[in-house]
Amino acid sequence: MRKNGEHFQADIRTIPFMHRGERHVLTVARDITERREREQALRTSEEQYRAVFNATTDGLVLRDFFKRTGQPLNQPWLVAMVLGLVKRFPLAYLIKLGIATIRPDRTRGWGRARDAINEYAEEVEAQNRKALGLGAKGAK
């Protein structure tokens, strides 16, 4: 407890020793409140990073979608979203995210989801071609 009566978290160490033939114990208490607050802030930040990192696959799917449909990546809403993320995350996490996008994906079992997305994209493309009066893809 502090002099003002406020409670705080402490790291307490005791050291037994002999002095002039008598046993004594030296007790040292350190205030660790700030350290605990920093640790909690780090845990919260790591949770946020983990959520974005887990969504990286979604970003790759979006990028692939834009590439396949011939749409530019610099669309205003996408740029605003990415800038919003960049402003809110520490540099170290952004670097890890960048590295994660160039490393091979470590997830497994996404084959069915990928196939479903590709099938859906092909269906939409066929509908769009039909609506525009274009022939089937690959037809002359």
Main-chain phi, psi angles of 18, to 5 degrees = -105, 135
**Per-residue pLDDT at 140:** 52
Counting Cβ atoms within 10 Å, is residue 84 exposed (0-12), middle (13-18) or buried (19+)? Answer: exposed
The radius of gyration of the chain from alpha carbons, rounded to an integer in Å, stands at: 29
The model's pLDDT over 54-97, given as tens digits with 9 standing for 90+, comes to: 566 666 777 777 788 888 777 787 777 777 776 777 776 667 66
The model's pLDDT over 24-36, given as tens digits with 9 standing for 90+, comes to: 998 888 888 888 8
